[in-house]
Structure 1
């Protein structure tokens, strides 16, 4: 009898899948990606920065109200602002206020509209209006302070 031994091929009979190089590469790339993502998520600490204007905003160093005339709800004034002289007219509203204590009533003013009529430099030459929003806020505060300091609202 002539019997040949039959060899057993494990890939055909057992269906064993080998862990090859490509599978190893896929698992290692995925684990590296996952490790990097977790490290970045734990280490990421955003620092919020404050928005800064490119043009510096400054408050005027010297300011004063040189003259003021009031009518019913309007007024005119001459304002000195950093060496410049401004002729302004404004509309205001009077408001009764108190400090919360009986007998502390006083009249306060609220500037409703401000217009710069003319601006002059140190020599008295006319120049164009250079004021911005911050200058108008400063002028409004100066006008109200001048009215309160000189008690100009009591007679109006």
Structure 2
């Protein structure tokens, strides 16, 4: 037998107080979630259009490179479906990564001129390249020359 009777006074019993408060907090939580859900269903959310670039990026490929002098050369560059015949001037200088033994000859293309633009079947076009094309072609030529150590005698 129980010697102590169970108290029905909420202020005296902690368990009864917790049981009584829990349904109210659950009611508030369910109410808030339903308001948010109804608001989301009510509004017709317009999705932002998928971001697409203004222009398709060009592809560059070095077809051939010939050094015509100590600091000049010509190259054939494949730009998308066009073949560009370019001539360029370059400077070679010693550089390093700051670590002993990491010395290399760096190449800087100082001048680039597009001599002709033709399609693969031979149709002539006028020069349509812009500054970003020239920057990418300069980097392509300089990278090829550094990789193959073409500027070390210059």
> What TM-score do the two structures reach when normalised by structure 2?
0.61
Q: Secondary structure at the match of 1:101?
A: coil
Is it true that 1:110 corresponds to 2:108 in the alignment?
yes
Q: CA RMSD in A?
A: 1.6
**Where does the alignment leave 5 or more consecutive residues of structure 1 unmatched?**
1-54
Structure 1 residues 57 and 132: alpha-carbon distance in aligned structure 2, compared to 1, 3 A threshold:
farther
Q: Secondary structure at the match of 2:115?
A: strand
Equivalent of residue 128 in structure 2, options 127, 130, 142: 130
Q: Secondary structure at the match of 2:94?
A: strand
Measure, in 2, the Cα distance between the counterparts of 1:56 and 1:77: 29
Summarize deviations over 1:51-104 as a string: whole Å, max 9, x none. xxxx945531x3111111112111110111111100000111112110111111
Higher Cα Rg, which structure: 1
Runs of 4+ in 1 over 6 A off after TM superposition: none
**Where does the alignment leave 5 or more consecutive residues of structure 2 unmatched?**
1-52
Summarize deviations over 1:28-71 as a string: whole Å, max 9, x none. xxxxxxxxxxxxxxxxxxxxxxxxxxx945531x3111111112
Report the count of equivalent residues: 101
**Corresponding residue of 1:69:** 66
Q: Are the counterparts in 1 of residues 92 and 152 from structure 2 also a CA contact under 8 Å?
A: no
How is 1:88-103 mapped onto 2 (pairs within 5 angstroms)? 88-103=86-101
